[in-house]
Structure formats: C-alpha cells, structure tokens
C-alpha cells in the first residue's frame, strides 16, 4: 500500500515532468551561456531545486548583477516555500534529518499533487512526485549544459502552458468548499493586481497571505 | 571562490533552509488550531495565484499570450471531467498549435 502511494505520486506528475525536463534543458543552456561552466549549473539544480529562483539568479549574474542581488532575488522567489513547508509539516513524521530531506522535495508541482481536497497532505505523494521532478530537472540541466540546443525551445512545444493547466486542474477540487473558493478568488485577484508592479515571487507570497482570512472565518 | 560558486552555495543553502524550516521545526505534530485554519486555505489561494502568474506573467508585467489558449482548453477539458494527464497534454498541444499557426 505504502509503495502504491509513492507510485501514484510519480504517475500524477509524469506529464509535467516532461515539461520540467524541457525547462531544465533551457536552464542548462542559459547557465552555460552566462559563463557558469558545466559543473556549477548541475550542482545548482541538484541542491537548489527551484526553477524560477535559479533562472532569476543566473539571469541577474549574466547581466552583471552582484552576488547579493542574485541571492536576494532567489530568496524572494522561494519565500513561498516557508508557509508551504508549514502546511506540510504536520504530515511529515520521522526523525529531523528525514524530515529535512523529504522537505527538499517540495516544489510547487509536487506540493500541489500532494494536497488533498480536505486540506490534508499525503507525504508519499509529495516524495514520489518530488523525486520524479527532481530527476527530470537535474537530467534536463545536464543535457542543456552539454549543449543539446538541438532539442529546441520548450515554448515551441507549448510546454510552458502545461504548468498553469496543472495548477488549474489541482485547484478545482479545492473550490468545493466556500472558504476554499473565497481564498482562491482573493489569491487570483492579488496575483493579477501585483504581477505588473511587484518583483517576481511577491505576487504568490502575497496571495498566500489571503489565507489569513481563515482566522476570521 | 568565484561569484558563480558563491551564488550556487548561498542560493542552495537558503532554499534548503526555507523549504525545511516548517517540517524540521514543526514536523510530525498537529499545528495549533488557529494556525491550521489559516494554512488550510494556503492551497486554494497559492494554486490560484500560480495559475495567474504562470498564465499571464511575463518578464515585465502581464502579457496576454498563447498560454491563455492552452488554459482555456484545459478549463473546458476539466469541465468535461477529463483526467489531469489529458488536461495538461491538451493545454500544451493547443498552445503549440497556436504558435505553429501564428
């Protein structure tokens, strides 16, 4: 039974893992053209494992930005993983090192797959989906670094449209409850309002704050 | 240490710390009731925000683009109760088609 849930996580995320691998290739190409060499981009994908933050940090470096600016942009983009980690925490049992390692498998996609419609989480889905995306991301980066530009731009294949579609599909079951629907509407409105004006990462973090409504019922 | 490796090390350490703070400090036991009622709504609000930013977000500001065609197709497929796999594939396919024609 245990194993089946891990496999469910792999299966749930498989189509998106293809898209993630495509963007891993793009990241590898970008990092290589930014003069990061071959090893550093792969090490970064294997340790940071957060696509948007990696793209932002490397773009900033490539444009002559400072180390501090690159790190600050990445931290801002990843700040949402703070509250997301808290939401998963009650369901991650075991020793502290084991919780630390499994927490590294948190990315938007694996977290979204592990959310259950009653608001709970299945950590086995999180780890199954997370490991699948992790393998796709690191392998994609390596392919990009070693110059497989021939694979082309993932945008040509429409792979960038796979992400909003996945998040929409996983959002739908959350809308059955009135509080969930209200939080979704506020979250979408905040993101829409802030995206044109705020730094990347801020809209999603601010939308997460919409859940503070929960305190007031 | 070159600035490349410094960024790799600092971003990596910061991201690991951010991701694991909750699970390491609060892991394995129920959250206080007030906090739990807040965190419960994180999924719908953040997922909705991700749909918005992933669909219309651009390097600078908002952009109406081909991804919206894919998202519309995804919404129709979801309404017809298609499985998630099909929804994602249809969204990518529709977007690729629009780009090929455009």
Residue B27 banded pLDDT, cuts 50, 70, 90: confident
Alpha-carbon gap: B59 to the closest alpha carbon of chain A (Å):
9
In this prediction, residue A134 carries a pLDDT of: 97
pLDDT score, position A81: 93
pLDDT at site A62: 81
The beta-carbon neighbor of A70 closest among B7, B41, B70 is B7
CA A49 to chain CA mean position, Å: 8
State the smallest CA–CA distance between residue B76 and chain A in angstroms: 11
The answer to whether A158 and B22 are in contact (CB under 8 A) is no
Instruction: Determine whether the interchain pair B95/A161 forms a contact, defined as Cβ–Cβ distance below 8 Å.
Output: yes
Average pLDDT by consecutive 10-residue portion of chain A (217 residues)? 81 89 86 87 96 87 84 88 93 95 95 85 94 96 80 76 88 88 92 88 84 64
pLDDT of residue A146: 87
Residue A121 β-bridge partners? A115
Least confident of A206-210, B56-60, B83-87: B56-60
Q: What is the pLDDT of residue A166?
A: 86
Q: What is the pLDDT of residue A150?
A: 56
Query: Taking CB atoms and an 8 Å cutoff, what residues of chain B touch A170?
Result: 47, 84
Q: What's residue A179's pLDDT?
A: 86
pLDDT at B21: 96
Query: Cβ B78–A100 below 8 Å, yes or no?
Result: no
Nearest CA in chain A to B22: A86
Q: Give the closest of B15, B66, B93 to A53, CB-based.
A: B15
Beta-carbon count within 10 A of B33 CB:
8
Quickly count: other Cβ atoms within 10 Å of residue A182's Cβ.
18
Q: Given B12, B38, B84, which is nearest A214 (Cβ)?
A: B38
Nearest to B51 among A35, A82, A164 (CB): A164
Work out the pLDDT band at B57, boundaries 50, 70, 90. confident
pLDDT value at residue A154: 74
pLDDT of amino acid A205: 86
Which of chain B's residues have a Cβ under 8 Å away from the Cβ of A171? 44, 47-48, 51
Model pTM score:
0.84
**A201: CB partners within 8 A, 6+ apart:** A52, A53, A73, A76, A77, A78, A79, A80
- pLDDT in the model for residue A214: 62
Whether the CB of A119 is below 8 Å from some CB of chain B: the reply is: yes
Least confident interval from A6-15, B18-27, B74-83: A6-15
In DSSP terms, B56 is beta-bridged to: none
A153 burial level (CB within 10 Å; 0-12, 13-18, 19+): middle
Does residue B77 register a pLDDT over 70? Answer: yes
Give the DSSP H or E segment for A97.
Answer: helix A96-103
Which ipTM value was assigned to this complex? Answer: 0.89
- Provide φ and ψ at A211, rounded to 5°: -70, -10
Neighbouring C-beta atoms of residue B100, cutoff 10 Å: 10
CB contact under 8 A, B12 and A162: no
CA atoms of B44 and A172, how far apart (whole Å): 9
| A40 interaction partners in chain B (CB closer than 8 Å) | 4-5, 8
């Amino acid at each position: 039974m245990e194993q089946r849930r891990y496999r469910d996580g792999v299966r749930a995320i498989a189509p998106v893992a293809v898209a993630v691998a495509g963007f891993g290739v793009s990241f590898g190409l970008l990092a290589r053209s930014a003069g990061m060499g071959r090893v550093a981009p792969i090490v970064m994908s294997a340790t940071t494992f957060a696509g948007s933050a990696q793209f932002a940090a490397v773009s900033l470096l490539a444009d002559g930005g400072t180390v501090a600016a690159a790190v600050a942009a990445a931290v801002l983009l990843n700040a949402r993983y703070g509250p997301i980690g808290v939401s998963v925490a009650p369901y991650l049992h075991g020793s502290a090192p084991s919780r630390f390692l499994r927490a590294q498998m948190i990315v938007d996609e694996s977290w979204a797959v592990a959310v259950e419609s009653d608001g709970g989480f299945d950590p086995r889905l999180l780890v199954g989906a997370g490991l699948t995306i992790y393998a796709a991301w690191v392998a994609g980066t390596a392919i990009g670094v070693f110059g497989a530009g021939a694979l082309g731009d993932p945008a040509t294949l429409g792979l960038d449209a796979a992400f909003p579609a996945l998040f929409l599909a996983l959002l739908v079951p959350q809308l059955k409850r009135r509080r969930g629907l209200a939080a979704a509407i506020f979250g979408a409105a905040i993101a829409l309002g802030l995206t044109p004006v705020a730094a990347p990462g801020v809209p999603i973090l601010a939308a997460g704050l919409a859940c503070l409504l929960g305190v007031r019922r | 240490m070159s600035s490349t490796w410094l960024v790799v090390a600092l971003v990596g350490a910061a991201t690991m710390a951010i991701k694991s703070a909750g699970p390491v400090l609060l892991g394995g036991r129920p959250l206080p009731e007030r906090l739990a009622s807040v965190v419960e709504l994180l999924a719908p609000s953040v997922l909705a925000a991700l749909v918005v930013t992933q669909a219309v977000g651009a390097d600078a500001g908002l952009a109406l683009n081909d991804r919206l065609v894919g998202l519309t197709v995804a919404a129709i497929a979801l309404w017809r109760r298609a499985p998630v796999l099909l929804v994602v594939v249809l969204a990518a396919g529709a977007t690729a088609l629009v780009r090929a024609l455009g």
